[in-house]
Amino acid sequence: MQKTRLFPLLALYLALVPMTATAQAPTAADAKAFVDKAEEKLLAASIAAERANWVAANFITEDTELIAAEGSQRRMELAAGLAKEATRFDGLALDADVARKLALLKLSLTLAAPADPKKSEELARIAAGMEAAYGRGKWTPPGGEPLDLEEISRRMATSRDPKELAALWAGWHSIAPPLRKDYARYVELGNAGAKELGFADMGAMWRSKYDMPPDAYAKELDRLWEQVKPLYVSLHAYVRMRLRETYGKDVVPEKGPIPAHLLGNMWAQQWGNIYPLLAPKDADPGYDLTKILVEKKTDARQMVRYGEGFFTSLGMAPLPKSFWERSLFTRPRDREVVCHASAWCIDWVDDLRLKMCIEINAEDFATVHHELGHNVYQRAYNRQPVLFRDSANDGFHEAIGDTVALSLTPEYLVKLGLLPKAPPAGKDVGYLLNMALEKIAFLPFGLLIDKWRWQAFSGEVPEARWNQAWWDLKLKYQGVTPPMARTEADFDPAAKYHIASGTPYSRYFLAHVLQFQMHRALAKTAGCTTPIHTCSIYGTRKREPG
Ligand code: X8Z
Ligand code: ZN
Protein backbone atom coordinates (compact mmCIF):
# COMPACT_ATOMS: atom_id res chain seq x y z
CA MET A 1 0.00 0.00 0.00
CA GLN A 2 2.56 2.31 0.91
CA LYS A 3 4.19 1.59 -2.34
CA THR A 4 1.06 2.37 -4.27
CA ARG A 5 0.47 5.49 -2.28
CA LEU A 6 4.01 6.65 -2.64
CA PHE A 7 4.37 5.90 -6.28
CA PRO A 8 2.34 8.87 -7.65
CA LEU A 9 4.26 11.19 -5.32
CA LEU A 10 7.58 9.81 -6.46
CA ALA A 11 6.50 10.12 -10.07
CA LEU A 12 5.50 13.71 -9.48
CA TYR A 13 8.82 14.41 -7.73
CA LEU A 14 10.83 12.82 -10.52
CA ALA A 15 8.89 14.81 -13.06
CA LEU A 16 9.47 18.07 -11.25
CA VAL A 17 13.12 17.72 -10.20
CA PRO A 18 14.61 17.79 -13.69
CA MET A 19 12.43 20.79 -14.48
CA THR A 20 13.60 22.70 -11.41
CA ALA A 21 17.17 21.64 -12.07
CA THR A 22 16.92 22.87 -15.67
CA ALA A 23 15.51 26.18 -14.50
CA GLN A 24 18.36 26.65 -12.02
CA ALA A 25 21.34 25.15 -13.80
CA PRO A 26 23.39 28.01 -15.23
CA THR A 27 23.70 28.24 -18.97
CA ALA A 28 26.38 29.61 -21.23
CA ALA A 29 24.21 32.71 -21.66
CA ASP A 30 24.13 33.16 -17.86
CA ALA A 31 27.91 32.93 -17.81
CA LYS A 32 28.17 35.61 -20.49
CA ALA A 33 25.77 37.90 -18.62
CA PHE A 34 27.70 37.31 -15.40
CA VAL A 35 31.02 38.17 -17.06
CA ASP A 36 29.61 41.35 -18.63
CA LYS A 37 28.34 42.56 -15.29
CA ALA A 38 31.58 41.56 -13.57
CA GLU A 39 33.60 43.60 -16.06
CA GLU A 40 31.44 46.64 -15.44
CA LYS A 41 31.87 46.37 -11.67
CA LEU A 42 35.59 45.63 -11.89
CA LEU A 43 36.19 48.63 -14.12
CA ALA A 44 34.49 50.98 -11.68
CA ALA A 45 36.34 49.52 -8.67
CA SER A 46 39.67 49.55 -10.50
CA ILE A 47 39.37 53.18 -11.56
CA ALA A 48 38.55 54.19 -7.98
CA ALA A 49 41.45 52.12 -6.62
CA GLU A 50 43.92 53.47 -9.18
CA ARG A 51 42.92 57.07 -8.47
CA ALA A 52 43.47 56.52 -4.75
CA ASN A 53 46.77 54.71 -5.41
CA TRP A 54 47.94 57.53 -7.64
CA VAL A 55 47.28 60.13 -4.97
CA ALA A 56 48.87 57.95 -2.27
CA ALA A 57 52.01 57.40 -4.35
CA ASN A 58 52.27 61.12 -5.14
CA PHE A 59 51.54 62.41 -1.62
CA ILE A 60 52.58 59.89 1.02
CA THR A 61 50.62 60.65 4.20
CA GLU A 62 48.70 58.56 6.74
CA ASP A 63 45.44 59.70 5.14
CA THR A 64 46.29 58.91 1.55
CA GLU A 65 47.65 55.55 2.68
CA LEU A 66 44.31 54.72 4.31
CA ILE A 67 42.29 55.92 1.33
CA ALA A 68 44.44 53.80 -0.98
CA ALA A 69 44.04 50.79 1.32
CA GLU A 70 40.25 51.20 1.24
CA GLY A 71 40.21 51.33 -2.55
CA SER A 72 42.42 48.26 -2.83
CA GLN A 73 40.34 46.40 -0.29
CA ARG A 74 37.15 47.05 -2.22
CA ARG A 75 38.72 46.02 -5.49
CA MET A 76 40.24 42.81 -4.18
CA GLU A 77 37.09 41.84 -2.28
CA LEU A 78 35.09 42.35 -5.44
CA ALA A 79 37.51 40.31 -7.56
CA ALA A 80 37.71 37.46 -5.02
CA GLY A 81 33.92 37.43 -4.61
CA LEU A 82 33.40 37.30 -8.37
CA ALA A 83 36.02 34.57 -8.79
CA LYS A 84 34.25 32.45 -6.17
CA GLU A 85 30.85 33.08 -7.71
CA ALA A 86 32.22 32.13 -11.10
CA THR A 87 32.82 28.55 -9.96
CA ARG A 88 29.12 27.88 -10.58
CA PHE A 89 29.91 27.86 -14.29
CA ASP A 90 32.59 25.19 -13.85
CA GLY A 91 32.21 22.36 -16.35
CA LEU A 92 29.90 24.28 -18.70
CA ALA A 93 30.72 24.46 -22.39
CA LEU A 94 31.41 28.18 -22.90
CA ASP A 95 32.57 30.47 -25.66
CA ALA A 96 36.35 30.72 -25.58
CA ASP A 97 36.35 34.40 -24.61
CA VAL A 98 33.88 33.89 -21.75
CA ALA A 99 35.89 30.92 -20.45
CA ARG A 100 39.08 32.97 -20.63
CA LYS A 101 37.49 35.87 -18.78
CA LEU A 102 36.24 33.58 -16.02
CA ALA A 103 39.76 32.20 -15.63
CA LEU A 104 41.20 35.74 -15.59
CA LEU A 105 38.85 36.77 -12.78
CA LYS A 106 40.96 34.65 -10.45
CA LEU A 107 44.24 35.89 -11.83
CA SER A 108 43.80 39.58 -12.48
CA LEU A 109 45.12 40.71 -9.09
CA THR A 110 48.32 39.94 -7.21
CA LEU A 111 46.58 39.89 -3.83
CA ALA A 112 43.53 37.76 -3.07
CA ALA A 113 41.21 39.02 -0.36
CA PRO A 114 40.33 36.52 2.38
CA ALA A 115 36.54 36.25 2.84
CA ASP A 116 36.69 37.66 6.38
CA PRO A 117 36.42 41.45 5.83
CA LYS A 118 38.56 42.15 8.91
CA LYS A 119 41.33 40.15 7.36
CA SER A 120 41.02 41.70 3.92
CA GLU A 121 41.07 45.16 5.50
CA GLU A 122 44.21 44.27 7.44
CA LEU A 123 45.84 42.87 4.31
CA ALA A 124 45.06 45.98 2.25
CA ARG A 125 46.37 48.25 5.01
CA ILE A 126 49.58 46.29 5.42
CA ALA A 127 50.19 46.31 1.66
CA ALA A 128 49.63 50.08 1.39
CA GLY A 129 51.71 50.67 4.53
CA MET A 130 54.74 48.74 3.30
CA GLU A 131 54.80 50.55 -0.03
CA ALA A 132 54.54 53.92 1.72
CA ALA A 133 57.25 53.01 4.23
CA TYR A 134 59.58 52.06 1.37
CA GLY A 135 58.76 55.31 -0.44
CA ARG A 136 59.58 57.33 2.68
CA GLY A 137 62.78 55.35 3.29
CA LYS A 138 65.85 57.41 4.14
CA TRP A 139 69.23 56.80 5.71
CA THR A 140 71.16 59.40 7.65
CA PRO A 141 74.93 58.94 7.56
CA PRO A 142 76.75 59.80 10.80
CA GLY A 143 76.82 63.58 11.12
CA GLY A 144 75.06 64.06 7.77
CA GLU A 145 71.66 64.87 6.28
CA PRO A 146 69.03 62.18 5.57
CA LEU A 147 69.57 60.61 2.15
CA ASP A 148 66.85 59.15 -0.07
CA LEU A 149 67.33 56.19 -2.40
CA GLU A 150 68.08 58.35 -5.45
CA GLU A 151 70.89 60.15 -3.65
CA ILE A 152 72.30 56.93 -2.19
CA SER A 153 72.12 55.32 -5.64
CA ARG A 154 73.88 58.30 -7.24
CA ARG A 155 76.73 57.90 -4.79
CA MET A 156 76.88 54.13 -5.24
CA ALA A 157 77.05 54.59 -9.00
CA THR A 158 80.18 56.69 -8.87
CA SER A 159 82.02 55.97 -5.61
CA ARG A 160 85.03 53.70 -5.93
CA ASP A 161 85.76 53.61 -2.18
CA PRO A 162 84.79 50.15 -0.83
CA LYS A 163 84.25 51.50 2.68
CA GLU A 164 81.92 54.24 1.51
CA LEU A 165 80.12 51.78 -0.77
CA ALA A 166 79.59 49.35 2.12
CA ALA A 167 78.24 52.16 4.32
CA LEU A 168 75.80 53.27 1.62
CA TRP A 169 74.71 49.68 1.09
CA ALA A 170 74.17 49.02 4.79
CA GLY A 171 72.51 52.41 5.23
CA TRP A 172 69.77 51.75 2.70
CA HIS A 173 69.30 48.15 3.90
CA SER A 174 68.55 49.54 7.37
CA ILE A 175 65.13 50.72 6.15
CA ALA A 176 63.95 47.11 5.79
CA PRO A 177 63.93 45.36 9.21
CA PRO A 178 60.91 47.41 10.43
CA LEU A 179 58.91 45.84 7.56
CA ARG A 180 59.54 42.24 8.59
CA LYS A 181 56.63 41.82 10.99
CA ASP A 182 54.16 43.29 8.50
CA TYR A 183 55.61 41.15 5.74
CA ALA A 184 55.02 37.99 7.80
CA ARG A 185 51.38 38.94 8.28
CA TYR A 186 51.04 39.86 4.59
CA VAL A 187 52.27 36.37 3.69
CA GLU A 188 49.83 34.77 6.10
CA LEU A 189 46.79 36.76 4.94
CA GLY A 190 47.74 36.72 1.25
CA ASN A 191 48.11 32.94 1.41
CA ALA A 192 44.72 32.62 3.10
CA GLY A 193 43.09 34.59 0.26
CA ALA A 194 44.91 32.56 -2.42
CA LYS A 195 43.88 29.27 -0.79
CA GLU A 196 40.24 30.33 -0.75
CA LEU A 197 40.49 30.68 -4.52
CA GLY A 198 41.88 27.17 -4.81
CA PHE A 199 45.60 27.92 -5.12
CA ALA A 200 48.17 26.11 -2.97
CA ASP A 201 49.51 29.50 -1.80
CA MET A 202 50.14 33.04 -3.08
CA GLY A 203 53.23 31.89 -5.01
CA ALA A 204 51.21 29.27 -6.89
CA MET A 205 48.64 32.00 -7.66
CA TRP A 206 51.36 34.22 -9.14
CA ARG A 207 52.79 31.33 -11.16
CA SER A 208 49.36 30.52 -12.63
CA LYS A 209 49.28 33.53 -14.97
CA TYR A 210 51.33 32.08 -17.81
CA ASP A 211 48.94 29.71 -19.58
CA MET A 212 50.56 26.63 -18.08
CA PRO A 213 50.36 24.91 -14.70
CA PRO A 214 52.30 26.72 -11.94
CA ASP A 215 54.98 24.04 -11.65
CA ALA A 216 55.52 24.02 -15.40
CA TYR A 217 56.13 27.78 -15.26
CA ALA A 218 58.78 27.37 -12.56
CA LYS A 219 60.44 24.67 -14.70
CA GLU A 220 60.29 26.88 -17.79
CA LEU A 221 62.14 29.65 -15.97
CA ASP A 222 64.81 27.17 -14.87
CA ARG A 223 65.13 25.93 -18.44
CA LEU A 224 65.61 29.48 -19.74
CA TRP A 225 68.13 30.24 -17.01
CA GLU A 226 70.21 27.18 -17.92
CA GLN A 227 70.34 28.47 -21.51
CA VAL A 228 71.59 31.94 -20.62
CA LYS A 229 73.70 31.06 -17.59
CA PRO A 230 76.96 30.53 -19.53
CA LEU A 231 76.78 34.17 -20.66
CA TYR A 232 76.40 35.29 -17.05
CA VAL A 233 79.22 33.08 -15.79
CA SER A 234 81.63 34.57 -18.37
CA LEU A 235 80.57 38.13 -17.58
CA HIS A 236 80.89 37.48 -13.84
CA ALA A 237 84.42 36.11 -14.25
CA TYR A 238 85.52 39.06 -16.42
CA VAL A 239 84.03 41.64 -14.05
CA ARG A 240 85.57 39.94 -11.00
CA MET A 241 88.98 40.03 -12.66
CA ARG A 242 88.73 43.73 -13.49
CA LEU A 243 87.35 44.62 -10.05
CA ARG A 244 90.28 42.77 -8.50
CA GLU A 245 92.62 44.96 -10.53
CA THR A 246 90.80 48.05 -9.23
CA TYR A 247 90.24 47.16 -5.58
CA GLY A 248 93.02 44.62 -4.93
CA LYS A 249 93.07 41.03 -3.79
CA ASP A 250 92.00 41.81 -0.23
CA VAL A 251 88.67 43.19 -1.42
CA VAL A 252 87.90 40.98 -4.44
CA PRO A 253 88.72 37.26 -4.36
CA GLU A 254 90.33 35.55 -7.33
CA LYS A 255 87.64 32.88 -7.37
CA GLY A 256 84.10 32.66 -6.04
CA PRO A 257 81.58 35.39 -5.40
CA ILE A 258 81.89 39.16 -5.86
CA PRO A 259 81.07 41.47 -2.93
CA ALA A 260 77.64 42.89 -3.80
CA HIS A 261 78.45 46.53 -2.98
CA LEU A 262 81.10 46.89 -5.72
CA LEU A 263 78.82 46.56 -8.74
CA GLY A 264 77.49 50.13 -8.88
CA ASN A 265 73.91 49.28 -7.93
CA MET A 266 72.20 48.78 -4.57
CA TRP A 267 70.99 45.27 -5.42
CA ALA A 268 73.80 44.36 -7.86
CA GLN A 269 71.00 43.95 -10.42
CA GLN A 270 72.46 45.94 -13.30
CA TRP A 271 76.14 46.76 -13.53
CA GLY A 272 76.29 49.48 -16.19
CA ASN A 273 77.45 52.07 -13.68
CA ILE A 274 80.83 50.40 -13.33
CA TYR A 275 81.39 50.34 -17.10
CA PRO A 276 84.22 52.91 -16.79
CA LEU A 277 86.16 50.39 -14.65
CA LEU A 278 85.72 47.69 -17.25
CA ALA A 279 85.87 49.52 -20.60
CA PRO A 280 87.96 47.66 -23.18
CA LYS A 281 91.08 49.62 -24.18
CA ASP A 282 90.65 49.68 -27.95
CA ALA A 283 86.94 49.20 -28.38
CA ASP A 284 85.32 51.84 -26.25
CA PRO A 285 82.68 53.64 -28.33
CA GLY A 286 84.10 56.88 -27.02
CA TYR A 287 80.92 58.58 -25.89
CA ASP A 288 79.15 58.82 -22.58
CA LEU A 289 75.42 59.40 -22.97
CA THR A 290 75.04 60.62 -19.38
CA LYS A 291 77.67 63.28 -19.99
CA ILE A 292 76.08 64.31 -23.28
CA LEU A 293 72.61 64.65 -21.74
CA VAL A 294 73.97 66.72 -18.85
CA GLU A 295 76.07 68.92 -21.13
CA LYS A 296 73.07 69.53 -23.37
CA LYS A 297 71.21 70.67 -20.23
CA THR A 298 68.48 68.11 -20.93
CA ASP A 299 65.68 68.33 -18.38
CA ALA A 300 63.29 65.63 -17.19
CA ARG A 301 60.50 66.71 -19.55
CA GLN A 302 62.86 66.60 -22.52
CA MET A 303 63.89 63.06 -21.57
CA VAL A 304 60.23 62.07 -21.84
CA ARG A 305 59.88 63.98 -25.15
CA TYR A 306 62.72 61.89 -26.58
CA GLY A 307 60.86 58.76 -25.49
CA GLU A 308 57.59 59.95 -27.00
CA GLY A 309 59.45 60.83 -30.20
CA PHE A 310 60.55 57.24 -30.61
CA PHE A 311 57.02 55.91 -30.41
CA THR A 312 55.56 58.55 -32.73
CA SER A 313 58.33 57.72 -35.22
CA LEU A 314 56.76 54.26 -35.39
CA GLY A 315 53.43 55.80 -36.34
CA MET A 316 51.87 55.90 -32.90
CA ALA A 317 49.82 58.83 -31.66
CA PRO A 318 51.51 61.44 -29.45
CA LEU A 319 50.83 61.22 -25.73
CA PRO A 320 47.63 63.03 -24.70
CA LYS A 321 47.80 66.54 -23.30
CA SER A 322 46.58 65.23 -19.94
CA PHE A 323 49.71 63.03 -19.75
CA TRP A 324 51.90 66.13 -19.71
CA GLU A 325 49.67 67.86 -17.16
CA ARG A 326 49.19 64.98 -14.71
CA SER A 327 52.49 63.08 -14.73
CA LEU A 328 55.26 63.41 -12.16
CA PHE A 329 58.76 63.70 -13.66
CA THR A 330 60.92 64.93 -10.78
CA ARG A 331 61.12 64.29 -7.06
CA PRO A 332 59.19 67.13 -5.38
CA ARG A 333 61.07 69.01 -2.68
CA ASP A 334 58.18 69.48 -0.29
CA ARG A 335 56.52 66.09 0.05
CA GLU A 336 57.18 62.37 0.11
CA VAL A 337 56.48 60.34 -3.05
CA VAL A 338 57.04 56.78 -4.24
CA CYS A 339 59.90 57.47 -6.62
CA HIS A 340 60.15 54.00 -8.15
CA ALA A 341 59.16 54.53 -11.81
CA SER A 342 55.72 53.39 -12.93
CA ALA A 343 53.32 53.96 -15.83
CA TRP A 344 49.60 54.33 -15.22
CA CYS A 345 46.35 54.35 -17.14
CA ILE A 346 43.92 55.64 -14.55
CA ASP A 347 40.67 55.37 -16.52
CA TRP A 348 41.75 52.27 -18.49
CA VAL A 349 41.25 54.27 -21.68
CA ASP A 350 43.58 57.23 -22.19
CA ASP A 351 44.32 58.92 -18.87
CA LEU A 352 47.97 57.90 -19.21
CA ARG A 353 50.53 59.03 -16.67
CA LEU A 354 54.17 58.51 -15.82
CA LYS A 355 55.44 58.75 -12.26
CA MET A 356 59.19 58.82 -12.14
CA CYS A 357 61.88 60.84 -10.36
CA ILE A 358 63.91 61.23 -13.52
CA GLU A 359 67.67 61.60 -13.23
CA ILE A 360 69.52 62.97 -16.21
CA ASN A 361 71.57 59.90 -17.12
CA ALA A 362 71.78 57.06 -19.64
CA GLU A 363 70.03 54.61 -17.33
CA ASP A 364 66.94 56.80 -16.95
CA PHE A 365 67.00 57.60 -20.66
CA ALA A 366 66.36 53.89 -21.22
CA THR A 367 63.91 53.68 -18.30
CA VAL A 368 61.75 56.45 -19.80
CA HIS A 369 61.40 54.29 -22.93
CA HIS A 370 60.61 51.31 -20.72
CA GLU A 371 57.81 53.20 -18.97
CA LEU A 372 56.35 54.70 -22.13
CA GLY A 373 56.26 51.16 -23.53
CA HIS A 374 53.77 50.38 -20.76
CA ASN A 375 51.69 53.47 -21.61
CA VAL A 376 51.65 52.71 -25.32
CA TYR A 377 50.61 49.12 -24.62
CA GLN A 378 47.85 50.30 -22.25
CA ARG A 379 46.47 52.55 -24.92
CA ALA A 380 46.72 49.85 -27.58
CA TYR A 381 44.37 47.54 -25.71
CA ASN A 382 41.97 50.18 -24.41
CA ARG A 383 39.10 49.07 -26.65
CA GLN A 384 39.29 45.45 -25.56
CA PRO A 385 36.75 44.08 -23.07
CA VAL A 386 37.81 45.10 -19.56
CA LEU A 387 39.26 41.74 -18.54
CA PHE A 388 41.37 41.65 -21.71
CA ARG A 389 42.89 45.09 -21.10
CA ASP A 390 46.24 43.61 -20.18
CA SER A 391 49.26 42.06 -21.82
CA ALA A 392 49.48 38.46 -23.03
CA ASN A 393 51.36 37.91 -19.79
CA ASP A 394 53.21 40.38 -17.57
CA GLY A 395 56.55 39.56 -19.22
CA PHE A 396 55.21 41.13 -22.42
CA HIS A 397 54.23 44.31 -20.60
CA GLU A 398 57.75 44.66 -19.27
CA ALA A 399 59.35 43.81 -22.61
CA ILE A 400 57.74 46.39 -24.94
CA GLY A 401 59.58 49.51 -23.80
CA ASP A 402 62.83 47.61 -23.29
CA THR A 403 62.56 46.32 -26.85
CA VAL A 404 62.33 49.88 -28.09
CA ALA A 405 65.27 50.87 -25.89
CA LEU A 406 67.40 48.26 -27.70
CA SER A 407 67.07 50.59 -30.69
CA LEU A 408 68.82 53.48 -28.88
CA THR A 409 71.96 52.84 -30.90
CA PRO A 410 74.74 55.40 -31.50
CA GLU A 411 73.32 55.97 -35.00
CA TYR A 412 69.98 56.83 -33.41
CA LEU A 413 71.66 59.28 -31.02
CA VAL A 414 73.22 60.92 -34.07
CA LYS A 415 69.73 61.33 -35.57
CA LEU A 416 68.59 63.06 -32.36
CA GLY A 417 71.56 65.39 -32.57
CA LEU A 418 72.93 64.09 -29.28
CA LEU A 419 76.07 62.64 -30.87
CA PRO A 420 78.01 64.36 -33.68
CA LYS A 421 78.87 61.11 -35.46
CA ALA A 422 78.62 57.39 -34.87
CA PRO A 423 81.71 55.60 -33.56
CA PRO A 424 83.72 53.81 -36.28
CA ALA A 425 83.25 50.10 -36.92
CA GLY A 426 85.18 47.96 -34.43
CA LYS A 427 84.25 50.16 -31.52
CA ASP A 428 81.13 48.24 -30.67
CA VAL A 429 82.70 45.81 -28.20
CA GLY A 430 82.36 48.51 -25.55
CA TYR A 431 78.72 49.07 -26.57
CA LEU A 432 78.08 45.33 -26.28
CA LEU A 433 79.86 45.08 -22.94
CA ASN A 434 77.68 47.86 -21.63
CA MET A 435 74.62 46.02 -22.92
CA ALA A 436 75.81 42.84 -21.18
CA LEU A 437 76.27 44.76 -17.92
CA GLU A 438 72.66 45.93 -18.14
CA LYS A 439 70.95 42.87 -19.55
CA ILE A 440 72.98 39.75 -18.80
CA ALA A 441 73.93 40.86 -15.29
CA PHE A 442 70.21 41.28 -14.60
CA LEU A 443 69.14 37.72 -15.43
CA PRO A 444 69.94 35.85 -12.18
CA PHE A 445 68.59 38.76 -10.15
CA GLY A 446 65.39 38.72 -12.20
CA LEU A 447 65.00 35.06 -11.35
CA LEU A 448 65.89 34.92 -7.69
CA ILE A 449 63.55 37.57 -6.32
CA ASP A 450 60.49 35.41 -6.89
CA LYS A 451 62.35 32.21 -6.09
CA TRP A 452 62.77 33.73 -2.65
CA ARG A 453 59.12 34.79 -2.44
CA TRP A 454 57.82 31.45 -3.63
CA GLN A 455 59.78 29.74 -0.84
CA ALA A 456 58.60 32.25 1.74
CA PHE A 457 54.97 32.04 0.60
CA SER A 458 54.86 28.23 0.55
CA GLY A 459 56.56 27.97 3.93
CA GLU A 460 59.40 25.96 2.41
CA VAL A 461 61.59 28.55 4.10
CA PRO A 462 60.25 29.51 7.55
CA GLU A 463 60.35 33.13 8.64
CA ALA A 464 63.23 32.35 10.99
CA ARG A 465 65.45 31.74 7.94
CA TRP A 466 64.16 34.39 5.52
CA ASN A 467 67.32 36.47 5.39
CA GLN A 468 69.62 33.48 5.21
CA ALA A 469 67.54 32.03 2.35
CA TRP A 470 67.82 35.37 0.50
CA TRP A 471 71.61 35.28 0.64
CA ASP A 472 71.69 31.59 -0.26
CA LEU A 473 69.87 32.51 -3.49
CA LYS A 474 72.00 35.61 -4.10
CA LEU A 475 75.08 33.40 -3.83
CA LYS A 476 73.70 30.55 -5.91
CA TYR A 477 72.35 32.61 -8.80
CA GLN A 478 74.20 35.94 -8.81
CA GLY A 479 77.43 34.76 -7.21
CA VAL A 480 77.51 37.74 -4.83
CA THR A 481 78.04 38.04 -1.08
CA PRO A 482 76.89 40.77 1.32
CA PRO A 483 79.50 43.38 2.24
CA MET A 484 79.25 42.45 5.91
CA ALA A 485 77.83 39.62 8.03
CA ARG A 486 74.03 39.43 8.00
CA THR A 487 71.67 37.91 10.55
CA GLU A 488 67.94 37.36 10.95
CA ALA A 489 67.76 40.81 12.56
CA ASP A 490 68.10 42.03 8.95
CA PHE A 491 65.42 41.78 6.30
CA ASP A 492 67.38 42.45 3.13
CA PRO A 493 64.71 41.34 0.61
CA ALA A 494 62.50 44.30 1.60
CA ALA A 495 65.23 46.78 0.71
CA LYS A 496 64.00 46.18 -2.87
CA TYR A 497 60.88 48.05 -4.00
CA HIS A 498 59.08 45.09 -5.54
CA ILE A 499 59.23 43.06 -2.32
CA ALA A 500 57.95 45.93 -0.18
CA SER A 501 55.24 46.78 -2.72
CA GLY A 502 54.23 43.17 -3.49
CA THR A 503 55.01 43.46 -7.22
CA PRO A 504 55.81 40.11 -8.86
CA TYR A 505 59.27 39.99 -10.42
CA SER A 506 59.69 36.97 -12.69
CA ARG A 507 58.05 39.20 -15.35
CA TYR A 508 61.36 41.08 -15.68
CA PHE A 509 63.31 37.88 -16.17
CA LEU A 510 60.92 36.92 -18.97
CA ALA A 511 61.17 40.41 -20.43
CA HIS A 512 64.94 40.19 -20.54
CA VAL A 513 64.59 37.18 -22.84
CA LEU A 514 61.55 38.36 -24.80
CA GLN A 515 62.93 41.79 -25.65
CA PHE A 516 65.78 40.32 -27.67
CA GLN A 517 63.42 38.04 -29.55
CA MET A 518 61.12 40.98 -30.28
CA HIS A 519 64.00 43.23 -31.31
CA ARG A 520 65.28 40.56 -33.68
CA ALA A 521 61.83 40.12 -35.25
CA LEU A 522 61.21 43.87 -35.56
CA ALA A 523 64.66 44.56 -36.99
CA LYS A 524 64.11 41.85 -39.57
CA THR A 525 60.68 43.21 -40.48
CA ALA A 526 62.19 46.68 -40.78
CA GLY A 527 64.69 45.29 -43.25
CA CYS A 528 67.83 45.58 -41.13
CA THR A 529 70.51 43.21 -42.37
CA THR A 530 73.47 44.36 -40.25
CA PRO A 531 74.34 42.71 -36.88
CA ILE A 532 71.35 42.84 -34.57
CA HIS A 533 72.87 45.26 -32.02
CA THR A 534 73.36 47.87 -34.73
CA CYS A 535 69.72 47.78 -35.85
CA SER A 536 67.39 50.56 -34.78
CA ILE A 537 63.73 50.47 -35.69
CA TYR A 538 63.42 54.23 -35.15
CA GLY A 539 61.37 55.84 -37.90
CA THR A 540 60.20 52.58 -39.42
CA ARG A 541 56.54 51.93 -40.07
CA LYS A 542 54.50 48.93 -40.92
CA ARG A 543 54.56 48.43 -44.66
CA GLU A 544 51.17 47.83 -46.19
CA PRO A 545 50.96 44.39 -47.76
CA GLY A 546 51.22 44.23 -51.54
O1 X8Z B 1 60.67 48.19 -11.86
C2 X8Z B 1 61.08 48.36 -12.97
C3 X8Z B 1 60.49 49.45 -13.86
C4 X8Z B 1 59.06 49.69 -13.57
S5 X8Z B 1 58.03 48.43 -14.13
C6 X8Z B 1 61.26 50.72 -13.61
N7 X8Z B 1 62.11 47.60 -13.45
C8 X8Z B 1 62.75 46.58 -12.62
C9 X8Z B 1 63.50 47.19 -11.45
O10 X8Z B 1 63.72 48.40 -11.45
O11 X8Z B 1 63.90 46.45 -10.55
C12 X8Z B 1 62.69 47.66 -14.78
C13 X8Z B 1 63.81 46.68 -14.79
C14 X8Z B 1 63.68 45.85 -13.54
ZN1 ZN C 1 57.98 48.12 -16.16
pLDDT tens per residue, range 212-229:
999 999 999 999 999 999
pLDDT of residue 544: 59
pLDDT at 546 > cutoff 60: no
Ligand nearest to the CA of 356: 1
* Backbone angles phi and psi of 438, in degrees to 5: -85, -45
280 near 430, Cβ under 8 Å?
Answer: yes
Q: Whose CA is nearest to atom 2 of ligand 1?
A: 341
The answer, yes or no, to whether residue 409 has pLDDT greater than 70, is yes
pLDDT surpasses 50 at 76: yes
Structure pTM? Answer: 0.94
pLDDT at 3 over 90: no
The rounded Å distance from CA 507 to ligand 2 centre is 9
Residue pair 4/10 in contact by the 8 Å Cβ criterion? no
CA dihedral 423→428→430→432, nearest 10 degrees, is 140
Mean pLDDT of 23-36: 93
* pLDDT given for residue 24 in this prediction: 79
Taking Cα atoms as reference points, which of 364, 4, 393 lies closest to residue 154? 364
Task: Using the predicted structure, report yes or no on whether residue 398 has a pLDDT greater than 90.
Answer: yes
Q: What percent of the chain has pLDDT over 70?
A: 95
Index of the ligand 1 atom closest to the CA of residue 356: 6
Would the CB of 341 count as within 6 Å of ligand 1? yes
445-465 average pLDDT score: 98
pLDDT (mean) for 20-46: 90
Q: How confident is the model at residue 9 (pLDDT cuts 50, 70, 90)?
A: very low
Please indicate whether residue 375, judged by its CB atom, sits closer than 6 Å to ligand 1: no
Pairing verdict, β 258-259 and 480-481 = parallel
Lowest model confidence (mean pLDDT) among 21-25, 336-340, 464-468? 21-25
Other CB atoms within a 10 A radius of the CB of residue 151 amount to 15
pLDDT for residue 23: 56
Average pLDDT, the chain: 95
Mean pLDDT value of segment 283-312: 96
Q: How far apart are CA 140 and CA 147, in angstroms?
A: 6
Res. 56 pLDDT band, cuts 50 70 90: very high
What is residue 464's DSSP assignment? G
Among 241-250, 277-286, 391-400, which stretch is predicted with the lowest mean pLDDT? 277-286
Residues 365-379: pLDDT tens digits? Answer: 999 999 999 999 999
Ligand with minimal distance to 341 CA:
1
Which range (179-183, 254-258, 284-288, 353-357) has the least confidence?
284-288
Q: Given a cut of 50, is residue 158 above it in pLDDT?
A: yes
pLDDT at residue 98 greater than cutoff 50? yes
Report the pLDDT averaged over residues 391-398. Answer: 97
How many other CB atoms are found less than 10 A from the CB of residue 218? 19
Mean pLDDT, residues 486-494: 98
pLDDT at 36 over 50: yes
User: Which of 423, 469, 425 has its CA nearest to residue 449?
Assistant: 469
- Say which ligand is closest to the CA of 355: 1
User: What residues pack around ion ligand 2 (CB closer than 5 A)?
Assistant: 398
By C-alpha distance, which of 393, 358, 26 is closest to 220? Answer: 393
Any idea what DSSP says for residue 481? E
Asked if pLDDT for residue 397 goes beyond 80, the answer is: yes
Dihedral sign of CA atoms 399, 400, 405, 407 in order: positive
Q: Which atom of ligand 1 lies closest to the CA of 342?
A: 4
pLDDT digits (tens, 9 = 90+) for 174-200: 999 999 999 999 999 999 999 999 999
Question: Does residue 28 contact residue 96 with C-beta atoms inside 8 Å?
Answer: no
Q: Is the CB of 342 under 6 A from ligand 1?
A: yes
Number of the ligand 1 atom closest to the C-alpha atom of 503: 1
pLDDT above 90: percentage of residues in the chain = 92
220 Cα–ligand 1 center, Å: 22
Residue 71 in this model has a pLDDT that exceeds 50: yes
pLDDT for position 426: 84
Q: How far apart are CA 468 and CA 487, in angstroms?
A: 7
